[in-house]
Amino acid sequence: MIWRMANRNLRASPLRLVLISLAIILGVGFVGGAFVLGDTINKAFDSLFAKVDAGVAVQVQGVASVSDSQRQPVPASLLPKIQAVDGVATAAGSIGGTATIVGTNGKAVGRAGPPTLGFGWVNDPSLNSLRLVSGRAPTAPNDVVIDTHTAATAKFALGQQVRVITPSGSGQYTLVGLVRFGTSDNLLGATLTGFTMPTAQRVFGLEGQYTRIGVTGNQGVLDSVLAHRVQAVLPSGYEAITGAAATRQATDQFNSIIGLLRDVLLVFAGISLFVGAFIIFNSFSITIAQRTRQVGLLRAVGASRGSVVGEVVLEALIIGVVASAIGVGFGILVAIGLEKLFDLIGASLPRAPIQVQARTVIISMGVGILVTLAAALRPAIHASRIPPIAAMREVTEAGTRSLRRLVIAIAVTALGVGLVLVGLFSGLGNPYALLGLGALLLFIGAALLTGQIARPLASVIGAPFVWIGRVPARLGRQNAMRNPTRTAQTATALTIGVALVAAATIFASSLYATFAGQLDARLLAQVAVQATNQQPFTPAAAAAITGAPGIVAVSPLREGEVRDTHRDVQTVGGVNPATILELYNPGLKQGSLRDLAQPGTIAVQEDYAKSNHLTVGSTLPMFFAKTGVQPLRVAAIFSDSTLGHFFISLSDYERNFSTQQDTIVLARGADGMSPQKAKQSVSAALAAYPNVTVLTKSEYKDQVNSQINQLLYLVYTLLGLAIIIAVFGIVNTLALSIFERTREIGLLRAVGMSRWSTRLMILWEAIIVALIGGVVGLVLGAFIGIVIVERVSLITTLAVPWGSLIVFFVLAGVAGVIAAILPARRAARLNVLDAIQAE
């Protein structure tokens, strides 16, 4: 009987079934898509690097004593010792660095973001990651090979002269060959170049050194045994790992990027499922209220409370299973679509079959089914409590505002607020877990509280519409006020989306206001020079600027990683002590950055100095990958953190770091020289370096704002999914409530209400419900955004973009209009006589 009743009820309302299913399909789809995309890309890179490194038995490299990016080069003098190890068949050094190709149009080839990679050509095919496709390998100092994708994009032909910019500067080379990285024409949009090994050592500043040394073994010698033998001849600071370990190390670098993308998608999938849970809960609550007589009859003829609960749970289970299964299929399409998006933006991925693992199906299906069941459980229990006497009379659920519900709502909200504050400010436990649980409880508490204030909110929000829309607006407002609980549950789905959008906007606005304010106050330079792809670039650019007409002060900023006395990784910047104060005001508290000219000194940001009890003259030991522990004397303490928390001189930087590349170069002209004139002078001096861009101070600020906006637009796009689901929720609620009010609508039509007025009544009701969600969402979003801004020490200025928040409120109303279209049409088309006779 339970199966027959569940099947009948599901068939009775196909619209409800579709709208509930859509919420689950979209949420599960992004869960499944995140896993499928991550697994597919991981498989692609695993296969690619496994083929590339198939012949490598052992890899020799510097120990990651600070971080992977700070591994020290391997001295070429170790190569003969390694070649002499028993069991070694061949050994060869390899070189890697940054190399930017200049196109025939005089601009740097490649997109912003992907790296520009250069390699030294290894003659042993087993140890060379580049595979020759056409032409020949580089043999002369001015020979170069590039990847086939870049050659096709930039329209290069063999024998053509190609300009390449490396850390040593700009040079002309002859294109002699086209290559792939293993079997891939493209590596996440990176450009690839290959030089002879001596040329690579020269242009990358690694004369007498290699980035790493690869080893092949004699037949029958285990890689692990060979690695142990090679390790025995290496000095301290270098390690020998197996080829399999080297492959895992290479793939992990790419997989970490994909893992971040997967985690972002999972977060937004979780938000979508959370919003969907409110829709499911609301839908079952309404339909069970409409089935009061049916359930009462079942109870009157002997059905147990357990049977009633079982029937509702079975409905939810069927919906959850079917919708989750469709969601898994949709997730595969999401993954394929994202893969195509990578191709469109020029960051093509290595090809691999779509990976749909059992774990993906189990987790996706499990999440969808559990969310559906959890959302339907309370309505099911409520249905089981309907007394048999309900079969004798019409009963519709009415919202109540008991003291008990109010106390529970306040308690849940307060607990959510408390957990958010503890997660952000206390340092206790896992802050992300506390923050996530707190936000979850905060939204649930807000939904409960909205149920207590929905009636007065609907009255206040709807009052201006009554003046505009007259009778239809008055009826729409009364409908929104009639059942506060339902109104609150419907509005909450939209509340979540609006709150997160508002919080993200406040955070982004505060971040920009902070950086814009700091740049105005702290940046004295008229121009800033950066690489077009935001990667480090050659110091030759700064040298070219020095002495440019009218330019009186130049300082590059180089960044490298070190470990402090707490073993924490810190970023240290190298600056020119003689000119930095003409270009940047760090807010000096003690000492002077000019004192960095003395060897072995460091400038420290005020907060770090206070927490570590440092003053000018104190000794701060720092561990460098190249030189080990260096006791640095504190020469200055400053307050600003715009350009970093630690500074050393360029000479100390060169002494302690192997790689010398600039992150940014600051410059200013003589007194009276305008920023545009200074930009023109610097740009003319950098004509040979099209891989860098010259920005005035105002343009640099705009660029920072643009980067923040790009991130914000991505957040908007992903949160848009939750808002779309919320709109479906409003559609669902209106459609079900119209079914519930069929006789009422029929009577209104019978006494003279036109179809157009009926449509307007539903429209005003939807707008009021949506605006309730907007109001509560803006309040919650403002709280979350302000709290996060106060917690992030990097942000010092709170900015609340009132204009944007007003736009979000208006858009919430627009969402209500969109949601009302189909339900209003259905209400207007009801047959008057049939509607009057409906029960």
Q: Which amino acid is at 228?
A: H
Tokens for 23?
């919420």
| Rounded CA separation 114/133 (Å) | 23
Residue 326 pLDDT: 92
The predicted structure's pLDDT at residue 346: 54
Domain ranges of the chain: 57-254, 454-523+696-839, 539-688
Nearest Cα residue to 744 out of 762, 771, 728, 770: 762
End-to-end CA distance of the chain: 24
DSSP 391: G
C-alpha torsion angle, residues 631, 637, 641, 645 (rounded to 10): 0
CA distances from 27 to 15, 145, 224, 697, 709 (A): 19, 46, 45, 43, 25
Return the closest-CA partner of residue 507 out of 795, 777, 713. 795
Identify the H or E element spanning 558.
strand 551-563
Confidence (pTM):
0.77
Report how far apart, in Å, the C-alpha atoms of 9 and of each of 2, 295, 316, 610 are: 11, 12, 11, 67
Tell me if 275 sits within 8 A of 23, measured CB to CB. yes
Q: Per residue in 264-288, is it b (16+ CB within 10 Å) or e — as a string? A: ebbebbbbbbbbbbbbbbbbbbbbb
Which residues lie across from 155 on neighbouring strands?
none
Residue type, 662: D
Q: Which residues of the chain have pLDDT under 70?
A: 1-3, 5-13, 15-16, 19, 48-54, 111-113, 185-189, 254-255, 257, 289-293, 299, 301, 342-352, 389-402, 427-430, 736, 739-740, 833-835, 837-839
The three-state (H, E, C) secondary structure of 313-377, written as one string: HHHHHHHHHHHHHHHHHHHHHHHHHHHHHHHHCCCCCCCCCCCCCHHHHHHHHHHHHHHHHHHHH
Which residue do the tokens 């330079």 mark? Answer: 525
Rounded CA separation 824/720 (Å): 24
Selection from 316, 279, 668 nearest residue 491 by Cα:
279
- pLDDT for 247 equals 81
User: Phi and psi dihedrals of 108, rounded to 5?
Assistant: -65, 140
Taking every pair of Cα atoms in the chain, the longest distance, rounded to a whole number of angstroms, is: 103
**Which residue, 472, 560, 532, is CA-closest to 693?**
532
Eight-state DSSP code of residue 388:
G
Give the alpha-carbon dihedral of 461, 466, 467, 472, to 10 degrees. 150
CA dihedral over 462, 466, 469, 475, signed as positive or negative: positive
Distances in whole angstroms, Cα of residue 805 to Cα of each of 499, 503, 509, 668: 10, 10, 12, 39
Nearest partner of 498 among 819, 716, 778, judged by Cα: 778
- By DSSP bridging, strand 551-563 and strand 569-575 are antiparallel
